Amino acid sequence: MAAQTEILPPHDPVEIGAQRATTPVARPRSEGAHRIQLDGIRALAVAAVLAQHFDPGLGQWIDVGAVGVRVFFVLSGFLITGILLGARTSAEIDGSSKWHVLRNFYARRFLRIFPIYYLVILLAWIVNIHSMRQSVGWHLAYLSNIYFFHRGIGNYSVTHFWTLAVEEQFYLVWPLLILFLPRKWLLGAVISAICIGPLFRAAVVIGGGNNVQTIMLMPECLDTLGMGALLATLNFLGMQRIKRKFLGAALVIGAASYLALAVITHFQNVPVWNIPFGLAVALWGAWLIDSAYAGFGGKFGKILSVKPAVYLGTISYGIYLIHNFIPVLVNRTLGYTSEHEMPMPIRSIVMVLVTVALASVSWFGFERPINSLKRFFPYNQRG
């Protein structure tokens, strides 16, 4: 899942030491900077995941759950890279240590991600979710994706943990590159990461990997994570004209490719089609996120900005963490031996309501109080 919104403000040239930088760089972001339409994008992405998992028939033509996950990856790459580039600039302006930035980045990620993650694992283990007990060690170590890669198949209620493992593995590597690479190498590094994704998937397919194995490893997801990082990097370097031209082409190519792949995979779903799938979503997803960051106008902008959408985006991490356990818990509570004993669409409505209710309790009673501790770990040492 994507990190909570921490956005760079508009970018312009700043003076570093006694010399003016040769390229525009980002001013340090303010802690209150927030683009509410990005929360609306989160709401749409998590709704897509819920729709497919609570009504699998929706995935027959359009794999909406997979699309939602990849939009989260693009958004995560955009936000995390933007945070790091802004913090890097602050450190360069102040003459402070980038290691301080790195330490506080990890502290803030820890506070946002780990407490609720491990609490959910503990509760699932206590209530005896069988799939959790089978593989709990892998999830504790954030190696869920490697576990599923070796199995070649998911494991019921805990399968969605693979995406959380991918993001955590990304967080371990990416900050070092963004903070310490020479400025002139940043764009090349981001483009290289985007290329690694489909190339890695192709290598897995050539090696005999199945549909699950072609999506599970962190390098296989670098095109989606990297596409978001590309947006943040182009903003950081002041390359707005290039970005606009790129995104115009990305929308057309990405949308056309995705629609073609959706039709093809409906009739012949084989691993080879996973090679271009992630990149296709990443291309139009990048346009979507950049447009939401700038602010959509019209009816779609209003939809993304309404309070229910913003609220669902705010609690989307909790929703994603717990949603796959809800069918088991609801069935046990109602005494059903199968979730299909409850008629549709009542089943889907009940699952969604229970998921949102529990995620709300988690947000107000657990996540938000812990998240407030991030104020003790500002990126700017003067903050």
Cite the DSSP H helix spans in the chain.
36-54, 64-94, 98-126, 130-140, 144-151, 161-180, 186-206, 222-236, 240-267, 274-294, 298-305, 307-314, 316-322, 326-334, 346-362, 368-371
Q: Which distant-in-sequence residues (6+ apart) come within 8 Å of 204 by Cβ?
A: 213, 214, 217, 220, 271
CA distance 76 to 71: 8
Q: Between the CA of residue 132 and those of 136, 307, 344, what are the distances in Å? A: 5, 34, 27
CA distance 300 to 296: 7
Q: What phi and psi values does residue 17 have, to the nearest 5 degrees?
A: 65, -135
Q: Which two tokens stand for residue 133?
A: 């007990």
What pTM does this model have? Answer: 0.90
Q: Do residues 112 and 371 lie in contact, with contact meaning Cβ atoms separated by under 8 Å?
A: yes
**Mean pLDDT of all residues belonging to the chain:** 89
Q: Do residues 81 and 229 lie in contact, with contact meaning Cβ atoms separated by under 8 Å?
A: yes
pLDDT, tens digit, 9 for 90 and up, residues 196-253: 999 999 999 999 999 999 999 999 999 999 999 999 999 999 999 999 999 999 999 9
Domain extents for the chain? 33-99+107-376
15: helix, strand or coil: strand
Cis peptide before 345 (omega within 30 of 0): yes
- Angle between helix axes 274-294 and 186-206 (nearest 10 degrees) is 150
pLDDT, tens digit, 9 for 90 and up, residues 300-337: 999 999 999 999 999 999 999 999 999 999 888 888 87
| pLDDT of res. 9 | 31
CA distance 116 to 137: 17
35: helix, strand or coil: coil
Q: Do residues 53 and 32 lie in contact, with contact meaning Cβ atoms separated by under 8 Å?
A: no
Contacts for 265-270: CB closer than 8 Å, 24+ residues apart: 265/63, 266/60, 266/61, 269/211, 270/211
Task: List, for the chain, all residue ranges whose pLDDT scores fall below the cut of 70.
Answer: 1-34, 58-61, 338-340, 381-383
| pLDDT of res. 1 | 47
